[in-house]
Amino acid sequence: MHLNFDNLDKFIQEFEKDAKALKEELLRYCWFMRGGLSFAESLNLTLEDREIIVKIIEKNMETTKESGLPFF
């Protein structure tokens, strides 16, 4: 891949944006797991792991909504 300085700057900005989005996603998992997953541990999750966690969170949210029990 060959990048000139303008493209390199755009590439770096996009990379930083993606890194921030991933960090936010991982911290959200940690919050939903209520300490069952540390941020350091979340950094080692694979994409498949993260997809499974999302399904678990969605199912728990659905169960909470159906049961009427408080979530927060």
| Backbone dihedral angles phi then psi of residue 56, each to the nearest 5 degrees | -65, -45
72 lies in some domain: no
Residue 68: pLDDT over 80: yes
> Which pLDDT band, with edges at 50, 70 and 90, does 72 fall under?
low
Tokens of 17: 């944006």
Question: What sign for the dihedral angle of Cα 14, 20, 26, 29?
Answer: negative
How far lies 7's CA from each of 1, 2, 3, 21, in Å? 11, 9, 6, 21
Residue 55: pLDDT over 70: yes
The model's pLDDT over 16-32, given as tens digits with 9 standing for 90+, comes to 999 999 999 999 999 98
Q: How many domains does the chain have?
A: 1
Which pLDDT score is estimated for 58? 92
19 lies in some domain: yes
Which pLDDT score is estimated for 24? 96
Q: Which domain holds residue 20?
A: 5-67
